[in-house]
């Protein structure tokens, strides 16, 4: 009961911090104007969901300055490798975010870095608002999402390192945070890996299943903090996770799996090539696509809903007053955030369960009668 009360208090503090940051940026966006219309709120939420080269915490209402901490920018341009901190970007007279690195001028547009053509000082746009005198660079920067993944990896190394050291010392019952990890490890083993892959082969894939489960779960929990992580809401991240699963079950497939896939027994010969094509499309396209879209869509939708509920304090301020609108926004956002904690675990479970199911289908030994 004490743990539950502390958890609720912690979630409430996180929501209050998010509301404070939103309210601060409501008064001053990057142009110094109020964010008080539905269109501006939608743009702000979209910007929050995107990746970024720095962590923006809040904006000072009096001076209009942003409070944030920068991250390393690493880009490959026509003039070679350029490295600097994201704080080097500055607004020029035209409002563009520019940085000069020797003989190279870089500009940041919608969280993307472009290199200006030689002799260009400002960006020119076409009728579709696409830059005409700038081109994208190879971006290897430590962005907010990359920082989140590194942080999740570090937490996993520390947590599982402590758990492994406890087992080496002969501890039957883990101590500290390891007592939280052990039931989850046993859950992944007994409720996900064994039933779907089989008793004989599940150990071979446990390292991958544990990694992907805790990686997604930790990133989902980090996404509920005011720092604004949305790593699993980035389509590139979910695509990579789905590709890892696809490569594992495709290269781990047994002879029976490929025989049943490419030349299915028990059906007319004329239909076997068609069924083989359908099966290959399912394993190469449909199954990975279902993995990546489910995780991406659910986590992005969760962030969008939470931010939209927080924005109620702005859109409903005139109708109900600042106190009532803020209170309503806090209650609704707190309710959704509690649900998001469940969703964070649920999405990690679903991705891991489906991955183990696809692997189990590939490594299963079929009976011959």
Name which residue leads in pLDDT, 335 or 33.
335
Name which residue leads in pLDDT, 333 or 72.
72
What's the chain's Rg over C-alpha atoms?
25
Mean pLDDT confidence for 47-69: 69
pLDDT for 288 equals 92
pLDDT for 28 equals 44
Q: Which of 39-48, 82-91, 207-216, 360-369 is modeled with the greatest confidence?
A: 207-216
Name which residue leads in pLDDT, 325 or 186.
186
Q: How far apart are the first and last CA of the chain?
A: 57
* DSSP state at residue 279: H
Angstrom CA distances, 107 to 43, 48, 123, 140, stand at 20, 20, 8, 16
* Cα–Cα nearest to 316, from 330, 300, 336, 296: 330
pLDDT range class, residue 32, cuts 50, 70, 90:
very low
Q: Is the pLDDT of residue 112 over 80?
A: yes
pLDDT range class, residue 30, cuts 50, 70, 90:
very low
pLDDT range class, residue 323, cuts 50, 70, 90:
low
Mean pLDDT confidence for 60-89: 78
pLDDT for 130 equals 75
Q: What is the pTM of this model?
A: 0.81
Mark out the alpha helices in the chain (DSSP H runs). 2-27, 38-49, 144-168, 178-187, 194-197, 206-222, 235-251, 255-262, 272-281, 287-310, 312-315, 317-320, 322-363
Contact 124, 107 (CB under 8 A): no
pLDDT for 5 equals 53
Q: Per residue in 220-247, pLDDT tens? A: 998 888 777 788 988 999 999 999 999 9
Q: Is the pLDDT of residue 64 over 60?
A: no
């Amino acid at each position: 009961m004490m743990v539950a009360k502390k958890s609720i208090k912690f979630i409430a503090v996180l929501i209050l911090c998010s509301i404070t940051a939103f309210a601060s940026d409501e008064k001053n966006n990057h142009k110094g104007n109020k964010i008080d219309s539905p269109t501006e709120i939608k743009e702000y939420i979209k910007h929050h969901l995107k990746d970024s080269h720095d962590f923006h915490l809040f904006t000072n209402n009096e001076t209009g300055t942003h409070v944030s901490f920068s991250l390393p920018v690493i880009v490959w341009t026509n003039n070679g490798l350029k490295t600097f901190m994201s704080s080097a970007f500055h607004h020029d007279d035209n409002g563009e975010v520019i940085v000069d690195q020797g003989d190279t001028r870089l500009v940041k547009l919608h969280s993307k870095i472009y290199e200006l053509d030689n002799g260009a000082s400002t960006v020119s746009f076409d009728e579709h608002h696409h830059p005409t005198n700038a081109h994208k660079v190879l971006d290897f920067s430590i962005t907010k999402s990359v920082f989140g993944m590194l942080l999740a990896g570090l937490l996993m190394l520390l947590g599982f390192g402590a758990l492994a050291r406890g087992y080496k010392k002969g501890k039957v019952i883990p101590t500290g945070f390891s007592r939280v990890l052990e039931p989850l490890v046993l859950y992944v083993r007994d409720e996900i890996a064994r039933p779907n892959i089989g008793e004989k082969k599940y150990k071979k894939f446990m390292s991958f299943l544990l990694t992907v489960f805790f990686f997604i779960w930790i990133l989902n929990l980090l996404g509920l903090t005011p720092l604004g992580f949305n790593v699993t809401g980035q389509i590139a991240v979910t695509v990579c996770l789905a590709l890892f699963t696809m490569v594992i079950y495709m290269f781990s497939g047994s002879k029976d799996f490929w025989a049943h896939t490419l030349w299915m027994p028990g059906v007319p010969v004329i239909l076997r090539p068609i069924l083989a094509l359908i099966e290959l499309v399912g394993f190469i396209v449909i199954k990975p696509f279902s993995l990546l879209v489910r995780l991406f869509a659910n986590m992005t939708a969760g962030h969008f809903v939470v931010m939209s509920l927080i924005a109620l304090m702005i859109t409903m301020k005139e109708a109900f007053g600042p106190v009532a609108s803020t209170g309503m926004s806090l209650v609704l956002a707190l309710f959704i955030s509690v649900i998001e904690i469940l969703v964070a675990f649920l999405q990690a479970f679903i991705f891991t369960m489906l991955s183990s199911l696809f692997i189990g289908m590939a490594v299963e030994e079929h009976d011959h009668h």
